[in-house]
Amino acid sequence: MRAPEGGKYITVRRGHKLIRADYWGGPYIDLTFGSEGYNPIEVINVWDYETDKAEPPLDTWDQPGPEKSEALRSVVTSWMLIQDEEWPEWYEGYLENARY
């Protein structure tokens, strides 16, 4: 599968866990597990419906500097920590799901 044009992506590694996170603006960060290639099977909703913006602000990629990549990395890392607490086998579950 090929990623749509115009977005940004990062990879996040924590121990044996690898996630590719893609973002094009809007409400969702696409997540791919176990690969640096684009094959998302999950999303993180970052939309604040009261302000009608992403929170944290992630959709102003035209600004220079690493801040947006770091903001994206922070969202994904926080999501991973929550998953570790709520479902310790989450990564293996997503890898299994990605096989189909």
Grade residue 35 by pLDDT with cuts at 50, 70 and 90: very high
Q: Round to whole Å and give the CA distance between 69 and 52.
A: 21
Grade residue 56 by pLDDT with cuts at 50, 70 and 90: confident
For residue 67, the model assigns a pLDDT of 63
E strands, the chain, in order = 8-14, 17-23, 28-33, 42-45, 47-48, 53-54
User: Cis (ω within 30 of 0) for the bond into 66?
Assistant: no
Q: Provide the 8-state DSSP code for 34.
A: S
Grade residue 62 by pLDDT with cuts at 50, 70 and 90: low
For residue 61, the model assigns a pLDDT of 52
Question: H-type helices in 1-100, by residue range?
Answer: 67-86, 90-98
